């Protein structure tokens, strides 16, 4: 099942229109967010949801971020962004947006978001930039940052 819709986010005094594509297949899902920065490059973030086992009450989320001109997708260890800080701030706002979605839609599951980086320079930039969102350093299939979002019991 695929859904496509739009929303907006605010970063400082700039508003960005998000194109959101949700693709849900059985127990897996992909949430793709796309917008453009001030130099007209695409900022794409994909969140991949999967369960460690069919009987688990936990979801793992991995993230892929890429910024480039022609929507080529992710390019390993390639520096493609021209408005780096702006793109990272927009990506962080999209991450907050998605964390709120997880809390609303997947509240009855424990959720863990994992972020990896191509190199130590990017890893350290992500680590500094995500400290206020309570991401911590760990090792799951390599050095990563992660955030746990505990399930919430709702009345009613």
Q: Which residues lie below 8 Å from residue 151, measured CB to CB, with a gap of 6+?
A: 57, 107, 108, 109, 110, 111
Averaged over 65-69, what is the pLDDT? 82
- Nearest 5°: the CA angle 137, 105, 117 is 25
Contact predicate 143/121, CB 8 Å: no
Is residue 81 predicted with pLDDT exceeding 80?
Answer: no
What pLDDT does 14 receive? 94
Is pLDDT larger for residue 128 or for residue 27?
Answer: 128
Query: Quick one: tokens of 1?
Result: 């099942």
First vs last Cα of the chain: how many Å apart? 28
What pLDDT does 70 receive? 65
What pLDDT does 90 receive? 96
What pLDDT does 10 receive? 95
Query: Quick one: tokens of 142?
Result: 């390599």
pLDDT digits (tens, 9 = 90+) for 93-148: 999 999 999 999 999 999 999 999 989 999 999 999 999 999 999 999 899 999 99
What pLDDT does 128 receive? 95
Q: Which of 62, 65, 67, 74 is nearest to 30 (CA)?
A: 62
């Amino acid at each position: 099942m695929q859904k496509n819709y739009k929303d907006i986010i605010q970063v400082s005094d700039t508003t960005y229109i998000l194109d959101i594509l949700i693709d849900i297949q059985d127990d897996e899902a992909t949430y793709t967010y796309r917008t453009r920065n001030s130099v007209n490059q695409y900022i794409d973030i994909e969140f991949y949801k999967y369960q460690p086992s069919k009987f688990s009450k936990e979801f793992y989320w991995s993230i892929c971020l890429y910024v480039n001109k022609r929507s080529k997708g992710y390019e390993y260890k390639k520096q493609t962004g021209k408005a780096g800080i702006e793109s990272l701030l927009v990506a962080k706002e999209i991450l907050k947006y998605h964390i709120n979605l997880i809390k609303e839609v997947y509240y009855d599951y424990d959720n863990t978001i994992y972020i990896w980086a191509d190199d130590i320079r990017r890893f350290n930039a992500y680590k500094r930039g995500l400290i206020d969102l309570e991401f911590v350093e760990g090792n799951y299939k390599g050095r990563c940052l992660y955030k746990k979002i505990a399930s919430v019991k709702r009345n009613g």
